[in-house]
Amino acid sequence: MSNSASEFRTVALVGKYQSAEVAEALGRLSAYLQTRGVSVLVDEDTARVVGGVGGARAVTFEQIAERADLAVVVGGDGTMLTAARRLGSYTVPLLGINQGRLGFLTDVGRGEMIDRVGEILDGKYLRERRVLLEAEVLRDGVPVFSSVALNDVVVSRGEVGRMIEFELTVDGEYIYSQRSDGIIVATPTGSTAYALSANGPILHPRLAGMVLVPLSPHGLTYRPIALSHDSVVDIMVVAPHDARIHFDGQTLFDAHGGDCVRVRRSFQSVTLLHPPGYSYFAVLREKLHWSATPRLS
């Protein structure tokens, strides 16, 4: 836990687009930060959609990376994923204010955001690092696309109404050939996202590994596999099948038969800040409704 009260002199605001509630929250945050003597920036796309944020200067993500000591993300997990992928190559820590539905990554409620931001400005916070994946698509051995992901890289059949076939290799060793709807390569952060809905395991975010989760495989013996942090995963799309590659569900690339999707842990990482008392297991209990009172039939 930090005890510095003057660490965050410039704070950037990033919001979920096209939401009146986000506009109101951004305005309140900006006003509060300015009363604390903090310089306030706002992502230019957010400012354009919500009509500006009083007292905040609209800037690009590149300028946020250069100038901000902290980025406060107001929205849902999707908004946080966007910010994390855009700022992953920099050292700007992120704080999430939940305006979405589930909020595994945005763990501060809107009703308490001023108090929690105040605590963080006073140096009362927990710092946590989350790993990223980097992936590239190789065509005839030549990279034709690359991206990073905080949650997952998904190789899927896309809009095609039939299974795809691929060969899976880990660290140069052939694992299996599979016909299925696809496969998920997830980080511990992403283990509570799409991978969880596909019956994958939950990995604690302090783990540095990754997990492979098949999507509706044509066979009952294919199961999720947890891998080490330094594993290299190759997914070769078998012709004549094509596949669609999703990165955090936000960026996509259409791969052809013979293309190889290579996934490994990135040297980049994302730093999340949490208010005092944050507990990952408490988040799981709340979001997954563990120990909830049973409903009466």
Active site residue ranges: 77
Q: Cα–Cα distance between 51 and 23 in angstroms, integer? A: 8
Tokens of 38: 């903090």
Cα(270)–Cα(205) distance, integer angstroms: 12
Question: Shortest CA distance to 259 belongs to which of 240, 242, 241, 237?
Answer: 237
CB contact at 8 A, 18 and 47: no
The CB density around residue 228, as the number of other CB atoms within 10 Å, is 12
Q: CA distances (Å), 267 to each of 148, 258, 270, in order?
A: 10, 27, 10
Q: What spatial distance separates the first Cα and last Cα of the chain, rounded to whole Å?
A: 46
Q: Rounded to 5 degrees, what are φ and ψ at 48?
A: -65, -40
Report the alpha-carbon distance of residue 94 to residue 87 in Å, rounded. Answer: 9
Instruction: Measure the CA–CA gap between 1 and 146, rounded to whole angstroms.
Output: 35
Q: Pairing between strand 39-43 and 10-15?
A: parallel
Which amino acid is residue 121, in one-letter code? L
Q: How many other C-beta atoms can be found within 10 angstroms of the C-beta atom of residue 14?
A: 28
Render 126-179 in DSSP notation, one character per residue: EEEEEEEEEEEEEETTEEEEEEEESSEEEEE-TT-SS-EEEEEEETTEEEEEEE
